[in-house]
Amino acid sequence: MDRYLEELKGYLKALPESDRDDAIEYYQEYLMDAGVRNYDDAVQKLGSARRTANKVQADRAVESTGNESRFLKKSKNTNPAMVVWLVILALLSSPVTIPLAILLGSIVLVIVLMLLTVVAIPLMIGLVSIYIGFRVLFMEWAVGLFYIGIGLASLGVMLFIVPAATLGLNSLKKLAVRIYRRAFGHRKVEME
């Protein structure tokens, strides 16, 4: 049994010492409770030491994914030289990233303004044409009716354009969200 535990301990060298000791203690008690006295009985009961070590490491990996914040805190790189290099990299890349951000913001602003303009122009044409039509109606009834008809047609066109513009803005919003997620990943912020 001692030979099996020593072999298991050798396969668990990658684990932290406390986890390794806990695993060895657990399997020692398990084998003692099962009445296992020699190496062959331990292999028959648990399988090879390598297989048992793989199971312990897999169980530990599952536990660490359940407790991500602890795992991430252990893996953070706090090397001061790395921090300095990251700051230098951020400073050197800012002449490129800031204009790119301004450019992307400007493009989005232009698209939104264009969609709003496409909605506003038929509305303005319609209201102005109706106003002119009523002003001219009593002087030249044919011209007045023409302007009123143009105004109503323009308002009718606007009724088709507004849903299309709304759909366009929603599509633009979804595209922006998709680009943001692709660029920065699906990161969830955990509050501690």
What's the one-letter identity of residue 33?
D
Q: What is the pTM of this model?
A: 0.39
pLDDT at residue number 134 = 94
pLDDT at residue number 23 = 85
**Rounded Cα gap, residues 52 and 50, in angstroms:** 5
Residues 93-140: tens digit of each pLDDT: 888 888 888 998 899 899 888 888 888 888 899 999 999 999 999 899
**Rounded Cα gap, residues 147 and 139, in angstroms:** 13
Helices (H) and strands (E) in the chain, counts: 7, 0
Domain residue ranges in the chain: 2-75, 96-184
pLDDT at residue number 130 = 94
**Rounded Cα gap, residues 187 and 179, in angstroms:** 14
Low-confidence residues in the chain, pLDDT < 70: 64-78, 184-192
pLDDT at residue number 175 = 85
